[in-house]
Structure 1
């Protein structure tokens, strides 16, 4: 697609220097200053174009400025943007109904960010444990997996195993048990009468797109059902078409008790997240016990409803599945040519680069110079998660750029 020229009066270098004294240094972005975007392409302030192979960590599953989503946002901006939940609004019921139907669950708790959805689920799971399961007050525990990423609030980093996320932020919130990911025996040993829930990512994103063995998710479902605790699936990155299914748990035919959604639910326009659950679970919340001023606002509900409409067609799930074959084939051809290994499902991959070729950061910078944007994680691993609107030719072009930057150093 053609992107209209940028009109910034400052260069990339000037804008990057301007950020240094005024922005907290909690990110280490690549040195590219994006000014405009459309579809799978972004443009910097100098007019250079880049193929976006990160898609906002899956927040841009439908690409930049998808016409249907932009139209929904514009239409709602002309009507109503915020009421708070002190009043009803005319968009929220449709959003909740359509999202519940899409996921096969009963009730929706609308929030804003992914971390808020996780925090909300923790509160709901504990309250359910006390009121429904009969756990003694203040004794509820939640089992989580090592190498998880569920957000960066103080409670969430309390059960992170990433020392960069934890160091200096204690004291930490108690009530969590950490077990190895993809280890059903360890999970079973950690569950007892105090367990309110098992909270896991069906695919671990930040850890490098770590895909569990076949049968793991079914095993989690069976263990939680047998123990009388909740299965909470964090699909904030993996959900909404990314893996070739609406939800990653669908690859094993599993339905969790609680589903966490975010990122792509806002269409790359506004932050939207949701806790979607069985009625018995979310009914433990009563007025005044939990809330959000912006959660479920009319603008978010309008965009979220439009996202659900796109997914209801099945087009984006099919694209992710079909183009996922192109991605896997392309990466397979690079194994031994600078790639040590990879893990992929749908249009999502974690690629382990030979450290002799470069770190993940170095590979990301080289790809940037080739006009392709990706992001590194954990040493020499890079993540690929393009918009689901990417074409086969664009995907092959990105893989060709990756081959170039790898083999140039061999």
Structure 2
């Protein structure tokens, strides 16, 4: 590997110094230890570093760049809106919003026809919670799945299935029932006494726990909800717009939830925005609350015409290029390829969960995930590190743009095979030792972390 010019190293140091002083010292230290180049630009399936090196982006910011980095159609829509009416006062109507709403009715499961916009997935999770409590005022219990992720704002933490993020802020607003993901019988048992207001569930469990449920699981959950008057909230923030091979993952089981949440891929990475899609029946039930007022389900006043136009353009791209079909037909090349690598390298890999172009490698421990990610970067490929060193078997994710080609997937699999061949030559006790170290990394002095990682960066914050 060629030496990095001193000017580039200094520019990288300046960026890390700013992040360490004003944002997140721990994250800045980890970036310094990894010696990762700073991303300077991106296009299509690639990101380009400050040194001009090109990397295939298989991380995709965990699903954001579904239509490719800098998609020209979305970019042009944003620029056009920027030059006309980029925003309007709260309460005013913008034609772009009406256009988006009409388009949403053509892609969502029939019956989901009331929409509330928000600035993030966490915000629309909170919108769903408000709707649930208005529509089921006599029930306060919420059922979630272990490992589920629905955002980290204070309200969204109420339905987070990851205790390490939730417990520091408890007590929170709702009484939680947590069941194993994929266990429909546990859901039925929990709903039997009709005390649960809603089930919040990802049709495919995302995050570091990436798990595809058993066939028919989502339909069984939906049926249990219908039988007990429980609202079913499907969180499609990661799975929306074709990622799993269907426009929405609930369509694999022909399920129409009461509320459906989607974000991430919605604007192709240009501007964060999310949609809480509700059935008219749920809204009607909310309106019967004795303290009802329309403002109780209102979205953020900071939603701009820019974000709405970007969302409309991104959805049109998904439709025009038939990206759900592309994910369904090209996805197995990635998922089956990863599964074959996992079968060949059981020393460090436990499996390869995935559906469509939402895939990952379940690793034997956090250091295996870290090492694969680092070595793949040397092959010019970015992967989606879980950033979770506490769980035993984290999943390294592969969420590329749906515009990825078969040739690019083959390149990824070849690099992964070379990476695993290299890693298999290392004794398992090495990765066990590194895991113990990285689980204590926040307790180590920064200079030692940089020394152990052979980084040329300094801790100047």
Normalising by structure 1, we get a TM-score of: 0.90
Deviating more after overlay: 217-226 vs 27-36: 27-36
Q: Which residue of 1 aligns with 2:352?
A: 342
**Cα gap change, 1:26/1:62 in structure 2, threshold over 3 Å: closer, same or farther?**
farther
CA distance in 2: counterparts of 1:26 and 1:288, whole angstroms: 39
Structure number, greater radius of gyration = 2
CA RMSD of aligned residues (A): 2.2
Q: 2:371 aligns with which of 354, 362, 366?
A: 362
Q: Which residue of 2 aligns with 1:256?
A: 257
**Secondary structure, aligned partner of 2:241:** coil
- Aligned-residue offset at 1:395: 1.1
- Aligned-residue offset at 1:45: 1.1
Q: Which residue of 1 aligns with 2:49?
A: 44
- Aligned-residue offset at 1:329: 2.7
Query: CA deviation digits over 1:94-147, x for unaligned, max 9?
Result: 1112112210321111111000011110110110113xxxx2xxx422211111
Q: Which residue of 2 aligns with 1:351?
A: 361
Contact 1:262 1:273 in 2 (8 A): yes
Contact 1:85 1:292 in 2 (8 A): no
Q: Which residue of 2 aligns with 1:323?
A: 330
Contact 1:361 1:380 in 2 (8 A): no
Deviating more after overlay: 222-231 vs 291-300: 291-300
**Cα gap change, 1:194/1:163 in structure 2, threshold over 3 Å: closer, same or farther?**
closer
- Aligned-residue offset at 1:232: 0.7
Contact 2:384 2:399 in 1 (8 A): no
* Alignment of 1:99 onto 2:101: no
Query: CA deviation digits over 1:4-55, x for unaligned, max 9?
Result: xxx9895334422332122124745562311100000001111111110011
Aligned positions of 1:109-148 closer than 5 A: 109-130=116-137, 135=138, 139-148=139-148
- Aligned-residue offset at 1:380: 4.5
CA distance in 1: counterparts of 2:21 and 2:113, whole angstroms: 48
- Aligned-residue offset at 1:294: 4.1
Q: Which residue of 1 aligns with 2:382?
A: 373
Contact 1:372 1:398 in 2 (8 A): yes
**Secondary structure, aligned partner of 2:257:** coil
Contact 1:110 1:295 in 2 (8 A): no
How many residues are treated as equivalent by the alignment? 396
Q: Which residue of 1 aligns with 2:220?
A: 219
Structure 1: stretches of 5+ with no match in the other structure = 1-6
Larger helix share, 1 or 2 = 2
Normalising by structure 2, we get a TM-score of: 0.81
Contact 1:107 1:279 in 2 (8 A): yes
CA distance in 2: counterparts of 1:75 and 1:195, whole angstroms: 46
Aligned positions of 1:189-200 closer than 5 A: 189-191=189-191, 192-200=193-201
